[in-house]
Homo-oligomer: A and B are copies of this chain.
Amino acid sequence: MNIPKSKNPRVVIIGGGFGGISLVKSLKNKPIQIVLIDKHNYHTFQPLLYQVSTSGLEPDSIAYPLRKIFKNYRDFHFRMASVEAILAETKEINTSIGIISYDYLVIASGSKTNFFGNLDIEQNSMPMKTVPQALNIRSLVLENFEKAVVCEDANQRKSLMSFVIAGAGPTGVELAGALAEFKNGIIKKDYPNLNAQEMTIHLIEGESRVLPPMSLFASKKAERFLKKMGVAIHLNTFVKNYDGKTVTTNSNLCFETETFIWSAGVTGAAVQGLAVESFTERGNKYRVDSFNKVIGYEAIYAIGDIAQMKTETYPKGHPMLAQPAIQQGKNLGKNLLLILKNKQPNQFSYIDKGSMATIGRNKAVADYKKLHFGGFFAWFLWMFVHLWFLVGFRNRIVTFFNWTYNYINFDQAARLIIRPYIKKK
């Protein structure tokens, strides 16, 4: 592979997510050759994907070209490719564009949707982990409304206007809230021939509360917000199957729907090639030590969603969120520089910066240590934090403008079916 020769040791990073870009930033213009590999040519700001699904934002507001982030970095090389295997013995990886050798390898490949082996659900449901998937949901939602307008069969119309979401984590809750705003705002304005009351939104959760990873306060508050907005919540309920027409559950509840969104699970997107001992029991994550070094290897590290670092506070590993990935990337960057100077690296220590979820206009919940917020203040905080973490000045301004516009106009403006909904084959 024609990566320019360099006198610097080469660090190859798999994945340009939160972990990967945090690591690259911490190695800026240091005596290291950085090779960043990603399937896409952009970084995705996943926390706002649901707004792309629901016509609130365009992809370019939440996706940022990786080359552009690092355009002034010395000895930095981006390669758009997928990684097929790690060849640890020869310190190489095999990719869609050929073999790439490394001195240090960092796996930051993140997570993917977990269908728990249910092929029907995998085939018929809509996941929402990538920009194309989010746009596919947008197209399906808008196409279903267009079909509903001309549908004379009442049952079929109800099915077209019924939206069922599995999993009431932040993604499911935020999506349900945004769809409820669609119902209460857009349908009445844009679809005079539809009866907005026929639109239903169902949120199904296996645990006994929504937002299970958050505080009890946040769960209660979010549940109240959602109910007020017209979302039907089904707790302690597990989805059994979805054949493309009907969602069945472990109770006698079932739902006729053309749109079933699956946000009930994620799993590590591991790469082939390392020894069994390096993986967690389920084989989907890498076991790492307190320096993020993969167990059993000297020059291979893993950070973020794909890494499991067991600690006293987090016996099952850190939560699969942006913050652990960002902090691990930063710590690993510093450590690599220390190692190159033959100094002792620092153990990773996670600083919990809290968590939040937004349900709708003026409605959000936030936990920060022992503090819990709900309502307008949490919503304002949510907006501020998300704008702050968006990559790039341009994205922040455009997103801020779109949010302000949508807020004033009770609108989600990007209601475009650019490419028709694509069904999985």
Contact = CB atoms under 8 A, between A and B. Distances in A.
B150 A67 contact: no
A59 B150 contact: no
A42 interface: yes
Given A40-B417, A418-B63, A418-B131, A2 B190 contact: no
Given A71-B190, A79-B150, A413-B394, A418 B135 contact: yes
Contacts of A1: 150
A416 B193 CA distance: 37
Given A146-B41, A149-B79, A60 B394 contact: no
Contacts of A79: 146, 149-150
A42 B189 contact: no
Contacts of A394: 401-402, 405, 413
A316 B103 CA distance: 69
B419 A419 contact: yes
Given A415-B65, A418-B131, A401 B405 contact: no
A83 to B, nearest CB: 14
Most chain-B Cβ atoms within 10 A of its Cβ — which of A40, A135, A413?
A413
A413 B98 CA distance: 29
A97 interface: yes
Nearest to A42: B416
Contact of A97 (B150, B405, B413): B150
A189 B40 CA distance: 19
Interface of A is mostly: mixed
A9 interface: no
A397 interface: yes
Nearest to A73: B192
A65 B405 contact: no
A394 B411 CA distance: 11
B402 A401 contact: no
Contacts of A4: 193
Interface in A36-52: 40-42
A243 to B, nearest CB: 26
Contacts of A397: 401, 405
A140 to B, nearest CB: 13
A354 interface: no
Copies of the protein in its oligomer: 2
Interface in A45-98: 58-60, 63, 65, 67-68, 71, 76-77, 79-81, 97-98
Contacts of A392: 413
A274 interface: no
Contacts of A3: 193
A54 to B, nearest CB: 14
Contacts of A2: 150, 152, 193
A298 B58 CA distance: 45
Interface string A368-407: 0000000000000000000000001110011001100100
A68 B190 contact: yes
Contact of A398 (B42, B65, B402, B415): B402
Contacts of A135: 418-419
A414 interface: yes
Contacts of A116: none
Interface string A119-130: 000000000000
A135 B2 CA distance: 29
Most chain-B Cβ atoms within 10 A of its Cβ — which of A60, A413, A417?
A60
Most chain-B Cβ atoms within 10 A of its Cβ — which of A1, A135, A150?
A150
15 contacts: A41-B146, A58-B59, A65-B416, A67-B191, A67-B415, A68-B189, A68-B413, A71-B190, A79-B146, A97-B150, A132-B419, A135-B418, A394-B402, A398-B401, A401-B401
Given A3-B193, A71-B189, 4 more contacts: A42-B415, A60-B413, A394-B402, A398-B398
Per CB-CB distance, the 6 closest pairs between chain A and chain B, nearest first, are A67-B190, A65-B415, A80-B146, A60-B414, A58-B60, A97-B150
